[in-house]
Structures are given as C-alpha cells and as structure tokens.
Structure 1
Amino acid sequence: MGKSVAILMTTYNGERYLSQQIDSIRSQTFTNWTLFIRDDGSKDKTIEVIQRYSKIDDRIRFVENPSKFHGAYYNFFNLIEYVKNNYQFDYYFFCDQDDIWKEHKLEIQLLRFSKDDMPEMVYSDMSTIDASNNLIDISINKIMGIELPNINNLYFIHAYIWGCTAGFNHALLEMVPSVDIDKDYLYIEKLSHDNYFAKFALEYGKVLFCPEQLVLYRRHGHNVTTSHHFKLSPLNVFRKAILGFNELALTHAGVYNQTLYMLKKASGKNPLSDRLLEIQEVIKIGGLKGVRYFYQNRISRKQLVRTIGLYTIMLFGTYKKYIMKELL
C-alpha cells in the first residue's frame, strides 16, 4: 500500500475562502490523503461548506469541537491530539483555511522525506496573494529568508517555518510530547503548533526545505498572521523602536516563552543537551551574555534592521517582564 497523508485544518468564520482551499486540496496530484477539519465555533456558513464537501468526498472529515478552550492554537493542538489518538498515517500536513495549495504540493514535499524512521519535517517557500487572488510577492524566501540558516535561529526567531507549508512524518508525531491543554492552557494560548513541532524536529531529527513556492498564502484583514510585516523599511523600524518598543519586546518574549515551554517538555523525556541548556540560560539572563551568544552563533535576520532590533531587545532585556514566571 502507498503512502498515506493526513491534512489537518482548523477553521473559524472562513466561508469566504474555504472552498478555494478545499478545491486546491482535492486537485492534488497525490490523492491518498484524508482531510480533517475542526471548526472553532464559526458564526458564518463555514460548517455548511465543510459538510457539503464531506458529502461529496469521503476523504474529508468534519471533527466535532467540544472543547471549552477556543482560539487558533487551542484548536490546532486539539485536532493534532484527536488524529494522533484515533488514526495512524505516514505523513501529516498543517493547512490554513484561506490559502491555496499548488497542485503538486504534496507530491513534491513527500519526495523530500528520507526513507528512514528519523523524525522529520519538510516545509517550503510560498507566494503571497491578496483577497482577490492577485499575486503580491512571488517568494517569501527572497524577502524574508525563511530557509533556516542554522539550527539555533529558530529558538529565538519565528520567521522561518510557516505551518501552512509544513508537513512531518509519523516518527515526529510520536516523538513530540503531547500538550495537556487543561493543565497548560495559559502557555498553549500563544504556542504556535508549527514552531513547537519544528524545534523537536531540529533537535532530534531533521528539518528540510523545499525552495519551490508550493502555497499561495493569502494576506487579508482577518487571518492570524496578517499583522506580520514582510517588508520592513529602516523608517518603519525606527518608528517601531521609538513608539512601539514594548510591543517589540512583547513579540520577542512570545518567541522566548515558546522556546522555554518546548525545553520544559523536552526535559521531561530526556536530560537537555548542553547546547539547549545554554539557550535556556541565554533567554533567562539576556544582556551582554545574550548578545555575545547571538554573535558567536550567528543569530541574525535577513534584513539588517531586523537583526538590530533582535540584538537591542536582548541587550536591554526588555522582554523579561513578559516572560512567564513558571518557565523561569
């Protein structure tokens, strides 16, 4: 029997673009997939769209949502646990409700996985489109540099592995510690599932990059990452540094909180390596120690102005007031 793929999609008020995304999945050249869709209490006709497709294509499954916790990350982690506990596939792919997949996406990414049992994640470049499907940028990698330059960057910068482009094998799913949403709900509210899985893949397996643009990522006013500025001019950086320094510190603290949570979960399985212990210490101490670590390990962004912001926040330790005390 051939490879099997589970596609994990969460939805919320997504009726406007959902049909285009599902149609793009149904048009994939690789066809042995099952699409699991978990809604988070949509007030529009999203559920009607899902049910309509599930009636005409038995590869599409609507997953009930009885959870008392609501939000994009809660929904994704709940869906991951549901599929993990009830099914087994060879590969798993994250999927947003409002993008469009190129027809060869699954086929190309599946070819990038190794044939061994090592935990692996594969992600790709993507193009951006607007609400009317007009092309904005042909390559996010050319703008932001999302091809991960070194293994340490992801612990301090979440600008590389976008969940809407990412897939992983069953070995990684089994290796990544499950999250207890009832117990850890404060952390999970802002814990990105893609970066959580990616860090475990980096540390205990492989992360592989496809240079092809395999997703048309939609930029509009309602998606979770729409506030992310792909292009940042020196003037915008200066304005942000002066007027929004606390906001910038909060953004960096969000990344560091997620890294500390991942390290906490990893230490529950095995003792942390010296390298991970050093990363943990750098986040906790910051200051000159953090800047020295950044320099020695070549932690940087593709754009110089972003790198300056990264170093400045670390040097002054302004992120520390936003670090969750339970993780220190």
Structure 2
Amino acid sequence: MTADPIGIAAVRAAAARIGADIVRTPVLTSPRLDALARGRVFIKAENLQRTGSFKFRGAANRIRALDAGQRSRGVVAFSSGNHALAIAEASRLAGVPATVIMPADAPGIKIDGARQRGARVILYDREREDREQIGRALVTEEGLTLVSPFDDPFVIAGQGTGALEAVAQVAEAAGAAVDQALVCCSGGGLAAGWAIALAEAAPAARVVTVEPAGFDDMARSLASGAWERNPRLAGSICDALLVPTPGRLTLPILAAHGARGVAVSDDAVLEAVRFAAQELKLVLEPGGAAALAAVLTGSVETAGRNTLLIASGGNVDPAIFQAAFRQSAAA
C-alpha cells in the first residue's frame, strides 16, 4: 500500500485558491467538556462553514481548479447530502453547471438545499443502485467531470486547509500544541487531508478516525492493511458517514501517517448532538457529531492531552434533532 503523492504544498495551494470562498471557522472550547475529558478539547466548528459542513472546502478547491472546457460542460457528484450541497454552492459561485446524485433516503433538508442552489438532483436507491455507475454514465453521455466526495486529490487537499487553520488557531488562543485529532470519517477525504496538513503543522499529533458502529470500514482497514467493506449500506443515523469501503487514495494516506480508527454508537452520537446544542450552542447533524461522541464516551484517551476535534456538519434533520432531546429526557 503506497500513499498517494498529495503533499503539504497541495494543501497550501488549496488554501490560496479558495481563500476568498470559504469561512475561517472558529475553534471553540468548553470548560465543561474539558472537565469531562480531563484534558483540553478544541472544536473546529466546520458546521459554521459555507453550506453547513467542511465539504465546501474540497468542493471549492476542485471547482476552482477546473479548466475552461470542464467548466463549460459542468460537473457531477454523488453524495448523501453535504458534498452535494457543497458542489452545488461552489458551482453556483463559479458559474459551473452541477448535477448531484443523492440517495432517496437522504435528509430532505439536504436534497432541497442542493436544488435551491441550482443543481440538478438525481435520486437513487442506495441498497439496489450503484451511485458510481450512475455518475460514470453521465460522464460518458454528457461529458461531465466527476467530482468524488473523497477520492480526488483536489478534494483531499481542500479538506486539509481546515487543519492548517485549526492548528494555528489553537496556538494563537491557547499557546498549545495538538496531541491528537479526532476526525469524523466516511470515505476518508477529510481525515486524509487533515493527516497531510498535521504532518507539517503538528507532527506529533495522531489522527483518529471516528465512524458509526457497524460501519467502521476505515478503522478495520487501518487495522488490517487492506480495504475492508461494510456488510450493510444503510442502518445508521449518521447518513453522512455511510460508504461501502474506504477510498483508494485516502486509506494509503491515512495508513502512511499512522492513523487509527474508533467507532461510536447511534445512541452516543445522539447524546453528542444534544450536548453540542445545550453545552456548546452548536447545531450538529449526527455525522458531524461523531468525533465529539468519541470524547464523551471515552472511546479515545483524552486525559492530560490536547485534543482537536472537528464538528464536521450541521445540516441536521429536524426529527433527528428532536430525537436527541427525547433520548436525553428518557434516560
């Protein structure tokens, strides 16, 4: 397994390319969370990023890097929601036609959001249809450029810009060095980008991927050194984190940087959604709260450490948000 040659120079180039498009999101702290963790916890609030998730960074970098011919023909992307929203918005800003392929069971707020940003939305059944096959057909038939949600060098580099920001913000605010970074993980584009950036910005920090229990293909793949697959493609509230297997580019990058993975239950994620709202005043979707859930459940050792985690998305379905508070009340 050989790491793809995406280096810190690509991340820095992405930061320059998308600087005018993105929001420099805050890094937040909480005395309550620090007490629970018995260490210092720093939260990179990418739920406050444009379109409500970190995905906008990678999408903007990929769209801005298109050549003139690609821009005129347009792009196609497949996504459970946040990548679709990001592609739709980045394409709108750049004047590029966009098509997004989304599972029919994606949260309505994400489907509507992609349409409102001018994208053509194609829905599919994630259990019976292959989104990649649908995308490849559109590439062949219409000459569109396929933008992977995670397996694209420009997307990976764009996601890494958040880590560069976060490490600088932690140093500025607290004079602290990052010991470990907890990253919500689906195909691994975010985690791979962060691993590349942290290797220079915080070389002592280890990346820990966080996935839903039962869908921890990245954690199992990092442990085995081979591409492991999930037995199911649906069945967790963390819709943003459900993929069949890690990316072809992302797994080697994470393995090369010594990353490891953990998994958290849906109940733990719901509690993290509630905690974020009540204690941190942040609205998070389940997939965006997975890294926080790992801290709250003690899935990762945090005592005496400086832990950076990402709140990766805030496009929560209202019913799920309400369920988080009902679960807390029933406990």
Normalised by the shorter chain, which TM-score bucket? 0.3 to 0.5
What TM-score do the two structures reach when normalised by structure 2? 0.32
- Larger relative CO (CA 8 A, sep 6+): 1 or 2? 2
What TM-score do the two structures reach when normalised by structure 1? 0.32
Larger Rg: 1
